[in-house]
Amino acid sequence: MSRFCLSWMAALLLAVALVACGGPRATQMPTTAPAAPATATPPPAPTAAPSTPAPTAAALEAPVANLTEGCVTDYDPDLDYFPEKVALEDATGWTIEYFNNYKLITVLNPWRDADVQFRYVLVQCGTPAPPDVGDAQVIEAPVKSIVTMSTTQLPHLKELDLLDRLVGVDTFQYINTPEVVELIEAGKLKEIGSGAELNVEQAIDIEPDLVMTYGVGNPEFDSHPKLLEAGLKVAMNAEYMEPTPLGRAEWIKFTAAFFNREVMATEVYAGIAGRYAEMTAKAQAVTMQPTVFSGAPFRGTWYMPGGNSYAAKLLADAGAAYLWADDTSTGSMQLSFEEVLDRAKDADIWVNPGSWKTLAEGLAQDERFAQFLAFQNGKVYNNNRRLNANGGNDYWETGVTNPDLVLADLIAIFHPELLPGHEFVFYQRLE
């Protein structure tokens, strides 16, 4: 799976797991003006007129918007520097708490069966960090430069108008986002590699404010331990652990928090979630649902999405009768060819059969695929319509942030009458 722009082995691990400005601290303004120096013979105070209080310094005005550029110059500990906040609706893998001049983010479940969590104290630039942060990383916000280690993070920067902050990626090879490709061609980005091929020296030379990466719990593929050891600020993005499409998409708010762009992220996500809900309602109103199965064998094992997985949720929301919907797992089931054939031989539609681009490629892998009715009827659809020259699949880039586009494709497959004239974005029918 090219979703994470890893080597094919890293992709397999994920498939099984899934299916500023540093300004000095400003001092607080005094609340009263200093007293005038005493004279040698002070005049007597008038008796008739009342005394006049000493003038006070002008109070600082409370911010009405988050500071997305630059730093605070006059700090007041009583002011809320984050009047614009995010609230999570669908994502369950992270939390955020707001304080006057910092935010506390906790990544709850960075990878499957993880026994560790990651905490980040995002301090408004130009204000002091809290005195005791424990094991949390302290990162100044707004971040001025970032390196991303997954293509899924690039659409966040595009939607939040932050591509000018992007200074590096793990590899250029699998990127589809046109604006990022332009930056690569203009020589404005650097590659730092990942896993065993991580170039820590290159990462240090770039001097990013932040490296956003992910983990799978395997030292052979995880980059964050070496990056942290090098003294870099590293944020773990665990969107792939979310079991729902909207849960994954809402991680755009996670990225936005590092840049104080909560308002923009909220608006973007509201649009995505609204379109998704509208289309889901249409699909759920249809009484006849086609039977559907997914995947294809890899090295003799058929990794079928669990009934509560991300992939199964998409199929259900699109109005399909997924044949393994009764399963309760959120990852992938490991089945034999015979087990799948026994249940799915007469299924109406087959989706996501690996890397095939044609039915002939499927038969070349295993002639037994012709035993499936969906194969015989030409009802096989794959999510690889948008591949770059190196096989990078935009389904795992643009599609993760925009599940409404994925859902529209699936509804057009299962219930074409609901979306007449639909132009497929990620899916194609295999001939």
Can you list the residues of the chain whose pLDDT is less than 50?
Answer: 1-57
pLDDT value for 60: 83
pTM: 0.86
Residues belonging to the chain = 431
Count of other CB atoms within 10 angstroms of residue 354: 15
Report which DSSP code applies to 82. -
Q: Give residue 7's pLDDT.
A: 43
Matching CATH topology for 80-269 and 286-429?
yes
* The CATH fold of domain 80-269: Rossmann fold (3.40.50)
Residue 378 confidence (pLDDT) = 98
If phi > 0 it is left, if psi is from -120 to 50 it is alpha, else beta; for residue 24 that is: beta
**pLDDT for res 58:** 56
d(CA 253, CA 86): 7
Q: How far apart are CA 57 and CA 66, in angstroms?
A: 24
Choose among 262, 249, 265, 197: nearest CA to 90: 249
CA 83 – CA 63 distance, rounded (Å):
7
DSSP designation for 173: T
**Per-domain boundaries in the chain:** 80-269, 286-429
* The pair of three-digit structure tokens given for residue 79, joined into one six-digit string: 């002011």
Element containing residue 210 per DSSP (H, E): strand 210-213
Is the domain spanning 286-429 CATH 2.60.120.10? The answer is: no
| CB atoms inside a 10 Å sphere around CB 390 | 13
Cα Rg of the chain, angstroms: 27
Which two structure tokens, joined as six digits, stand for 17?
């797991």
Phi-psi region of 152 (alpha: psi -120 to 50; beta: other; left: phi over 0): alpha
- DSSP 8-state secondary structure symbol assigned to residue 428: E
What distances in angstroms separate CA 359 from CA 362, 364, 381, 418, one per listed residue? 5, 9, 10, 27
d(CA 28, CA 31) in angstroms, rounded, equals: 9
